[in-house]
Amino acid sequence: MADRILILGGGFGGIATAIELRGLLGSEAEITIVDRRDSFFMGLRKLWVLVGLGTIAEGTRRIGALSSRGIRVIQTEVRRIDPHARRVETDADAFAADYLVVALGAEPRPDLVPGLVGQAGAFDLYDVTPVTAAAPRIKALERGRVVICIAGLPYKCPPAPYEAALLLHEHFRSRGVRDAIGMTLTTVQPTLLPNAGPEGARWMGEELTRRGIAYETGRKVVRLEPERIVYENGDLAYDVALVVPPHRPPAVVKQSGLTGEGDWIVPDPATLATSWPCVYAIGDVIHVALANQMPLPKAGLFAEAHGRRVAAAIAAEIQGQPQPPAFDGRGACFLEMGAGQAALVQGDFYARPQPAVKIAPPSPETMEEKRRFEAERLRRWFGQ
Ligand SMILES: Cc1cc2nc3c(=O)[nH]c(=O)nc-3n(C[C@H](O)[C@H](O)[C@H](O)COP(=O)(O)OP(=O)(O)OC[C@H]3O[C@@H](n4cnc5c(N)ncnc54)[C@H](O)[C@@H]3O)c2cc1C
């Protein structure tokens, strides 16, 4: 009987795993993806929607299209995961697997920020529905105060709120209203962009200041009120607040026992194997502590690299080949700056005694690379 490989989650990591497996194994195994969604698009599109630079539809592809590559796609809710038995219950059916890959991502939890849900003028920057609702407000704004607020940890794509601030600055500038709009970025973290180290934090601060965007670090949100964010140490008024809520894994992951006592699955950082035989966990649903105790950033690029490594490991085992090289913690995240420029936060996140992460200065070429990042993957995965 063919080996059964069950991938939970058809996002960045899950799709990359399935495509890589199919490439390595030919028709040798049964590869199944389970996801509640019927389509895939990249998170980076949300920021383009916010400032009118693109639509979600342009970057959306049907996950079901993977069936033409011999990948079975089942659209349903995962209800129960038994890692011992490698058995999964869903709304559609129960599935048993020889190999199980958990790629269920991290969920933004606006409900953990008191007063955010349903607050007029305040929007969850990480959810497509509120972002789509915020876009016309941004487009119509002529004066007032915009606050970008990193309210909780962890959150995916650490540069994204900074990108939002820089893109909004450029948007207001191009409309000639920037001088009438005050902009502030606040973060609960002790420094800006901590993954990029002290030098990166300094650079980020200079870039914000140069554009007249105020920033405040170590600002812990108590609650949102109409037109006002209440922090532990003072208030900030807003006309539009774009809030990054803390993320948590889907409830089914926690209930499975895969997270132990903690919130996240903690696999082997090099192999992404969990303590259960033939069960792997990849992407945003995992926690990997770096040498400086910061977590490995939750980013699509890492989810993809994890997926490729796990696929290579499973294929090698099935084919009786030696195991592939370890996931090495190297990677890069784009930091879009507006005006057709992007910088690159890149390096060796697993380096010791400190992650060796640097920011390559902004350029139009890096911005082009970011656009290619999306286009190439959509083509490779979905053929268009
Ligand atoms: C605004 C923004 C900008 C970003 N920009 C970038 C960028 O420029 N570069 C980059 O590398 N990353 C970026 N990211 C981060 C990137 O989107 C994530 O890190 C990436 O999607 C993680 O991949 P994943 O496979 O772990 O999880 P996901 O892609 O989130 O996939 C998880 C999947 O699991 C499914 N699922 C969850 N629970 C269940 C369940 N119970 N039953 C069925 N299905 C379920 C979900 O529907 C989802 O499709 C950005 C994110 C945001 C929000």
Is 256 among the domain residues? yes
Between CA 17 and CA 327, with CA 15 as vertex, the angle to 5 degrees is 35
Nearest CA to ligand 1 atom 49: 11
CA distance 253 to 258: 6
Is 137 among the domain residues? yes
Same-domain pairing of 169 and 243: yes
Q: What is the arithmetic mean of pLDDT over 215-240?
A: 98
Same-domain pairing of 243 and 257: no
Same-domain pairing of 17 and 30: yes
Where residue 238 sits, what CATH number does that domain have?
A: 3.50.50.60
pLDDT digits (tens, 9 = 90+) for 306-331: 999 999 999 999 999 999 999 999 99
Is 369 among the domain residues? no
Residue 43 CB–ligand 1 contact under 6 Å: yes
Q: What are phi and psi of 248, to 5 degrees?
A: -140, 160
pLDDT digits (tens, 9 = 90+) for 329-366: 999 999 999 999 999 999 999 999 999 999 999 999 99
**Paired tokens of 72:** 């079975």
Helix and strand numbers (H, E) in the chain are 8, 23
Is 354 among the domain residues? no
pLDDT digits (tens, 9 = 90+) for 119-172: 999 999 999 999 999 999 999 999 999 999 999 999 999 999 999 999 999 999
pLDDT digits (tens, 9 = 90+) for 86-124: 999 999 999 999 999 999 999 999 999 999 999 999 999
pLDDT value at residue 1:
80
Distance 102 CA to ligand 1 centre (A): 13
Number of domain units in the chain: 2
Domain boundary among 198, 230, 247: 247
State which residues form the domain around 160.
110-247
CA distance 105 to 303: 9
Residue 312 CB–ligand 1 contact under 6 Å: no
pLDDT digits (tens, 9 = 90+) for 176-211: 999 999 999 999 999 999 999 999 999 999 999 999
Is 334 among the domain residues? no
Residue 299 CB–ligand 1 contact under 6 Å: yes
Distance 307 CA to ligand 1 centre (A): 13
Same-domain pairing of 242 and 253: no
Confidence of residue 45 (pLDDT cuts 50, 70, 90): very high
Tell me the angle at which helices 12-25 and 364-382 cross, rounded to the nearest 10 degrees.
Answer: 60
Same-domain pairing of 200 and 141: yes
Residue 384 has pLDDT above 80, yes or no: no
pTM: 0.98
Is 155 among the domain residues? yes
Domain boundary among 224, 247, 270: 247
Domain boundary among 247, 278, 309: 247
Distance 78 CA to ligand 1 centre (A): 16
Residue 126 CB–ligand 1 contact under 6 Å: yes
Distance 9 CA to ligand 1 centre (A): 9
Same-domain pairing of 282 and 322: yes
